[in-house]
Amino acid sequence: MSQPVPADLAELASAVAQEAGELLLARRGRVAVVRTKSSPTDVVTEMDHAAEKLIRDRLLAARPADAVLGEEGGQTGAGPVRWIVDPLDGTVNYLYELPGWAVSVAAEVGGVIVAGAVCVPSQRSTFTATLGAGAWLESAWEGSPRRLACNSGVAMGDALVATGFGYPSGQRAEQGQVVAAVLPRVRDIRRAGAAAVDLCSVAAGRVDAYYEQGTHYWDIAAGGLIAREAGAMTGGLRGDEAGEAMTLAADPALFAELRDLLASLDADRLPAG
């Protein structure tokens, strides 16, 4: 079988994410919560499931041999490409009809994310990236796709920093202590409510940095590539890759400053209890 072409995978990711985004947009405002996850406020709606089903159906119709890892349905298949899917990142935003929610679809080949798309329907925007070929924004408000570059040369004291919080209260108490120590040292904090959108905001220069403890692979797979392809560095605090312990993204110089600050605060420690 021929090697998958990352640009083709990005195109498919983008088309599928946009179709799921349209489905979610059409049904917002009248959705039912079907279960909770890590805490009573960590909800899954019927639309998380409907969007993931659509995404799985479309991906497998186009590429039947591939594997899919989805937030709701887990892993299926074992093909040459593994699709990493968050059908609805920022579910609470969606439930409350706030704008910052997204569909995230990434393609992983040999353990490496090579293509990804994040569709943010409320912004009429789709962010895409292909490994080594840059990050791009397609927006209904701009005539043609625009190549993205993250902000650079921003000192920590001038940085607008996005972050997020988990749902379990013990984790939140610790995240609250960390953000209380970060806030006096930066321009300001933003809490938009979806990791995929925050990473795209780093790529687009809408914030200077993003950090969060407790993200899942599907939250950051596509957005992480988009941020890196826009010139940001992503990772944890101890030379590790971005992941559940910590996801930090910023231009390399700011990344280093924030990494040192967050490491001094043990911001990647496991929550007590």
The footprint of ligand IPD (CB under 6 A) covers: 88-92, 164-165, 193-195, 212, 219
- Beta strand ranges found along the chain (DSSP E): 33-36, 43-45, 67-70, 74-76, 82-89, 102-109, 112-120, 125-130, 135-139, 146-147, 160-163, 188-190, 209-212, 233-235, 247-250
Pick 52 or 89: Cβ nearer ligand IPD: 89
Nearer to ligand IPD, 50 or 81 (CB): 50
Shortest separation between residue 94's beta carbon and ligand IPD, angstroms: 8
Nearer to ligand IPD, 39 or 152 (CB): 39
Q: Which residue in the shown chain puts its C-beta closest to ligand IPD?
A: 164
Residue with tokens 């933003």: 190
Is-contact 226 111, C-beta < 8 A? no
CA dist., res. 201 & res. 140, Å (int)? 17
- Report helix, strand or coil for 128: strand
Contact 102, 13 (CB under 8 A): no
Least separation, in Å, of the C-beta of 42 and ligand IPD? 6
Rg (CA), the chain: 18
Instruction: Calculate the dihedral angle through the C-alpha atoms of 13, 18, 23, 24, rounding to the nearest 10 degrees.
Output: 90
Q: How far is the CB of 38 from ligand IPD (least distance, A)?
A: 9
Count of alpha carbons within 13 Å of 184, Cβ hemisphere only? 4
Least CB distance from residue 147 to ligand IPD, whole Å? Answer: 25
